Amino acid sequence: MKRLVPVMVAAAVALSACSSAKVTESVPVLTPAPNLTPAVTTTPVPPAATSPTPIPTPAPTPAPVESTPAIKWHPTDIGMPLVSDDPAAKGKKVVMLTFDDGPSPTGTTAKILDILKENNVKAMFFVTGYGAKNRDLLEREFKEGHTIGTHTQTHAYLPDLTVAQMRAEIEPVIKTVTELTGTRPKYFRPPNGAYNAALRGLLKEEGQQLINWSDGSLDWDKLKDGYKDPKLVVDQVMNYIHPGAVVLMHDTHQHTVEALPELIKQIRAAGYEFVVMQ
């Protein structure tokens, strides 16, 4: 169905996500060429402790070098790409994986959580109101260190709604997540990536950062009986990967589960680190 309501959709967005949406073509994101200068991640050496009396012991074995303090990344404008003001971020290539529409009780969300855990990757889950009824899975996402954002109560197409209706879509699922985690979520992804000025105003009022995506996996597109070749999902993401990429997937699809291990492997092989905003 072609929508006539003028809405602003991220240029880089593969137009619309989720299985009900018509998708035409994914648009590559034009980002500056990555800075290929190797990251200098020297750990500052603290000055040796001074002592009034010399210590007659041999030089101690150096303590293990701690990893560089975590670099803070933040979203730009409508959520992507991720950037950092930290000089230590220079030359670093990062990717954030995001999963929409769940949690799903069919087993796909649980399997995705297993794979993320095995690979030590943290991701962002944009949960729906109906998905959040699967409280055990929602709780697991939170306890395993992933960040939970919200994706409306019923997966409504928000530009068609009044502000009051938008609010009724946004607030209940935020409340559910807040009750479960003790922390109010602060990231929001509109269904189909579709937003307008009224929604942006409301999100500001609700303290929500809009997070769209810059690398759509098309795991929702051209499915046959709800399935597609997982290799196509991997290839789609890798074709558009770029520093600061926010990758859109859905934890509601079996082919996404099957694509994920290979995708993680290829993203790392291309020199990227996984990050997630807290």
CA 129 to chain centre: 18
Write down the least CB distance from residue 100 to Zn ion, Å: 4
Terminal Cα distance for the chain, rounded: 36
Write down the least CB distance from residue 23 to Zn ion, Å: 12
From candidates 7, 9, 10, 18, binder to Zn ion by CB under 5 A: 18
**Region from 17-25, 55-63, 82-90, 161-169 binding Zn ion, contact rule CB under 5 A:** 17-25
Write down the least CB distance from residue 73 to Zn ion, Å: 23
C-beta of 219 vs 258, nearer to Zn ion: 219
**Region from 16-24, 130-138, 160-168, 204-212 binding Zn ion, contact rule CB under 5 A:** 16-24
The β-bridge partners of 250 are 100
Q: β-pairing, 215-216 with 187-188?
A: unpaired
C-beta of 152 vs 196, nearer to Zn ion: 152
* Lookup: tokens for 139: 């709780």
Q: β-pairing, 194-195 with 8-9?
A: antiparallel
- Please, which residues have CB within 8 angstroms of residue 22's CB and are 6 or more apart in sequence? 1, 2, 15, 16
CA 135 to chain centre: 20
C-beta of 102 vs 243, nearer to Zn ion: 102
Q: Report d(CA 159, CA 166) in Å as an integer.
A: 8
From candidates 101, 141, 215, 251, binder to Zn ion by CB under 5 A: 101
Active site residues: 100, 250
**Region from 14-22, 107-115, 134-142, 197-205 binding Zn ion, contact rule CB under 5 A:** 14-22
C-beta of 34 vs 172, nearer to Zn ion: 172
Which stretches of the chain bind Zn ion, using CB under 5 A?
A: 18, 100-101, 191
